[in-house]
Structure 1
Amino acid sequence: MDAAVAAASAGVPVTLRKLYFVRFAFAAVWAALLFATAGALGPLSTTLLLVYPLFDVAAAVVDVRSAKANGGPAVPLYANIAISSLTVLALALAATSGIPAVLRVWGAWAVTAGIVQLVTGAVRRRLGGQWPMIVSGAVSTLAGISFVTQAGAGDPSLGSLAGYAFLGGVFFLASAVRLARGTRRRS
């Protein structure tokens, strides 16, 4: 590997680490706010529901730029951008029908985004710090199925989405820490 390629690929873990720390912080704050408003589908909770996938789109755009600059795989990230963008529209429509509809849309998003995250983590394994992302993708897929199931329950709540987001944030934090360790070892 020549020095320019090595230097470029060394920047990927640093960029991902920073992005993952930001994603953890966002998920923690978002989860707390949603949990506080989870009892009803009002203007604040609806706004929060729309902001989460929008933030996911923004994070994926940052990730794509990093991947493209360093010759990494961008196709799964483009898929994530498309899926999350469509989710914003679907959630806006679902919010007019109530919590069960929101849970169904969020569940479908969690399943598809989880699969994309799992694939992206597997492709990036060699960068290090990706096992939490792989596990998170699998957990997201299973959680998505549970959200769809919850939608048919007697008294569905948005509270489970807050827990899901916080757990996802913890996985991003774990990945960021693992990437930080790997970056120090490579130095």
Structure 2
Amino acid sequence: MTTVESAPLPQLTATLRRLYLVRFAFAAAWAATLLLTAPGTGPLLTVLLVVYPLADAAAVLWQLRSDRHTPGPRVAERINVAVSLAVAIALGWASTVSVAAALGVWGAWAATSGLAQLVAATQRRRSGGQVPQILSGAISVVAGLAFLAQSFQDADSISGVGGYAMLGGIFFLISAIRLSRRHRQAA
């Protein structure tokens, strides 16, 4: 490996660390809002459910823009952005139909984006701090399938999504901490 090829890695590490901290803060605030307000169908639920995948798409775009000079999982991340945008629209509609419909859309999205996250983190593991992201992706696949199954049982609560989002945020925080440690050790 040449110096030119390895130069972007410290900058990528710093960018990923910042991104992961922002994603943690957003997930914590979003989950707290969802859990404290416990909205049923209505405008608040719709706004909350639409905002989350939009924030996810924005974060993945930020990540794509920040590491465009390093080889990596571009296809999985681009698919993740497209899926998140489509899901924001689908959740906007589903949340006006029923909680179960919204939970089904969320579940399908969690499973799909979890798979994309798993692929992206696996391919990016040399940058460090990716084990929590690999675990988070795998958990998202399982949780998404569980949410999807709950939706077919006519679920009337979406509070589990708040816990799921908080857990995802914690994984982002752990990744940020691991990247910080790796960055200090390399310096």
- Shorter-chain-normalised TM-score: which range? over 0.9
8 Å CA contact retained: 1:67, 1:74: no
Alignment match, 2:100:
100
Tell me the C-alpha RMSD between the 2 structures: 1.3
Q: Is 1:42 aligned to residue 42 of structure 2?
A: yes
Mapping of 1:148-167 within 5 angstroms? 148-153=148-153, 155-167=155-167
Between the aligned partners of 2:174 and 2:137, the Cα distance in structure 1 is 14
Mapping of 1:1-187 within 5 angstroms? 1-153=1-153, 155-187=155-187
**C-alpha displacement of 1:8:** 1.4
Which residue identity is paired with 1:84?
S
8 Å CA contact retained: 2:130, 2:175: yes
Runs of 4+ in structure 1 off by over 6 angstroms are none
Unaligned runs of 5+ in 1: none
Q: Percent of aligned pairs with the same residue?
A: 48
TM-score, normalised to structure 2, is: 0.95
Between the aligned partners of 1:73 and 1:98, the Cα distance in structure 2 is 35
Secondary structure at the aligned position of 2:97 is classed as coil
**C-alpha displacement of 1:122:** 0.4
**C-alpha displacement of 1:156:** 2.5
Between the aligned partners of 2:140 and 2:165, the Cα distance in structure 1 is 10
8 Å CA contact retained: 1:37, 1:45: no
**C-alpha displacement of 1:68:** 0.7
After superposition, give the CA deviation of every residue in 1:155-174 in whole Å (9 maximum; x if it has no partner): 52110010000000000001
Secondary structure at the aligned position of 1:65 is classed as helix
8 Å CA contact retained: 1:80, 1:113: yes
Unaligned runs of 5+ in 2: none
Which residue identity is paired with 2:168?
G
**C-alpha displacement of 1:150:** 1.5
Which residue identity is paired with 1:166?
M
**C-alpha displacement of 1:39:** 4.2
Secondary structure at the aligned position of 1:96 is classed as helix
Which is further off, 57-66 or 150-159? 150-159
8 Å CA contact retained: 2:84, 2:109: yes
Between the aligned partners of 1:67 and 1:155, the Cα distance in structure 2 is 40
